[in-house]
Amino acid sequence: MKNNLLLLCTIAVGLVALPDPVLAQEPTGKKPISQPLVSHIYTADPSAHVFDGKVYIYPSHDIETGAKEDDEGGHFAMNDYRILSLDKIGGKAKDHGVALALKDISWAGRQLWAPDAAYKNGTYYLYFPAKDKQDVFRIGVATSSSPTGPFKAEPEPIRGSFSIDPCVFADTDGSHYMYFGGIWGGQLQRWTTGSYNPTGKLREKTEQALLPKVARLNADMKSFAETPRDVKIVDAQGKLFTEGDNDKRFFEAAWLHKYNGKYYFSYSTGDTHNICYAVADNPYGPFTYQGIVLKPVTGWTNHHSIVEVKGKWYLFYHDVQLSGKTHLRNVKVTELTHNADGTIQTVEAYR
């Protein structure tokens, strides 16, 4: 009994290797196409970047806290970030330890959710959502001289920021844009008037779906150069989706990549578990829906990134292969293919 208690405690804080993981039930008995990058801790929401020829992954660090599961994501109670790196795709991933902890963010109260990173002029920037002391999600920024940290957080969140899932895209002209937002536990539905309303409601099925946000960053990379605006995702006829189109509409997990001069906005549909994408001619959109990047994985959530590494494109994502539990996830990677016409070949995570 003593040994079992010790094992449970060490798993909860993510300090030791996980024992003999129980596999989640794969769809119709199929096997995963890729394996977890690390198994000694639980990781999710992988934002991947190439810095100086090396792949760095900025994930959430899932832990077991015993919190009850709910639609607000209260059981996702992460309290630090740990950065992974790969010398090459297919190589062994290195865990660089704690890069930023909740206790070192003066304005934050709880829940360090999906982060992203950027680099400019010798400084690495870590962008992260956290609930402030009033339990409202804001987006913070921390800096380091190393891609693996440690990172030092700014004393206040980014002014004008809200909700979750920041993605910072560096365009070829040197501009940087932050895409963000998430409904349900991500609180985007509470910001429809421009200020926080704790009783803000989700949209009905016949109403226009809530939209993600985008704002260009100032040169300091720590502030918005403009008021965040809607990222419009439309169908082939230019029509916005309704909440009832929940297999296509935005839920969370914004990501942007550029391919052959086009801007690809990809995202999770949340309760229908797809990673979809839409394409535009400029970083503000509107983005025209194209299809599914990744079909549902085991576990309730999915959150991804798309990055080019040495001339090939890769999709980073997560599932729950190691634990079988929605809030204890593991990051993975697989190759991604753009067709000759610019469309993306849909990935099936199991075969």
Residues annotated as part of the active site: 45, 252
Please give the C-alpha separations between residue 185 and each of 2, 75, 111, 140, 182, in angstroms, as whole numbers.
Answer: 37, 11, 11, 18, 7
Q: Please report the sign of the dihedral spanned by the C-alpha atoms of residue 234, residue 337, residue 175, residue 211.
A: positive
CA distance 180 to 212: 6
CA distance 173 to 130: 30
The SS3 of residue 221 is coil
Token pair listed for 339:
């067709």
Contact 98, 82 (CB under 8 A): yes
Please give the C-alpha separations between residue 87 and each of 74, 92, 107, 113, 182, in angstroms, as whole numbers.
Answer: 35, 8, 35, 26, 32
Length of the chain: 351
